[in-house]
Structure 1
Amino acid sequence: MQEGLGRDRFAGDVFVFRGRGGSLIKVLWHDGIGSSLYAKRLDHSRFVWPMTVDGVAALAAAQMSYLLEGCC
């Protein structure tokens, strides 16, 4: 991750990856004790994906909440 995205996965950042079809996201973060992986799939819609610069988007807390709820 550090080599591919140029970010330190232990720095408290949350990494969100979307599947090609747009119906699956995976969230990866390190809470200081260990790494956690969260996956969510939508059955009848797709996740709205923010604009990215070089594959990276910074999200506000409200945007992250909407993304995890699967709002479209």
Structure 2
Amino acid sequence: MIVAGQRLPILIATKPVDFRCGPQALALMVQTELKLDPHSGVTVVFRSKRGDRLKILVWDGTGMVMIYKVLEQGSFAWPKVQDGVMRVSRAQAEALFEGLDWRRTVARRVQAPTAAG
């Protein structure tokens, strides 16, 4: 699950995957093709060939969680298809999940204050 304050990266696997794959097969893809540890808590978003479906895979500490969404109209705004992954902010990932154009969402990084006040 994408949780407020979560510091682990959210990644989009830019190359479409076979959507018949379940969580184990997607975790294997994360490990072998993306060279990442699927049990590290990293969130990986997968796209379908048509672009109207997504799957989100994340290890929550007790098991692999897979979220599957199909847009009823239109398609998701995806980055250019290429090998590898693209890191996005939590706000961008949530916009993507809602079917919005996440590329228009700009994350602002704020320095933590040195003292409470």
TM value normalised by structure 2? 0.57
Match of 1:12 among 21, 25, 41: 41
Q: Name the structure 2 match of 1:37.
A: 66
Within the alignment, does 1:3 sit opposite 2:32 as a pair? Answer: yes
Deviation at 1:57? 0.5
Deviation at 1:2? 0.8
Q: Which stretches of structure 1, 4 residues or longer, exceed 6 Å deviation after superposition?
A: none
> What is the one-letter code of the residue matched to 2:77?
V
Q: Deviations over 1:8-39 (max 9, x none)?
A: 01111111111000000000100111101100
Aligned residues: 72
Higher RCO (CA-CA < 8 Å; seq separation 6+)? 2
Task: Check the 8 A contact 1:28/1:37 in 2, yes or no.
Answer: yes
**Unaligned 5+ runs, structure 2:** 1-29, 102-117
Match of 2:84 among 55, 63, 67: 55
TM value normalised by structure 1? 0.89
Superposed CA RMSD: 1.5
**Unaligned 5+ runs, structure 1:** none
Match of 2:51 among 22, 36, 56: 22
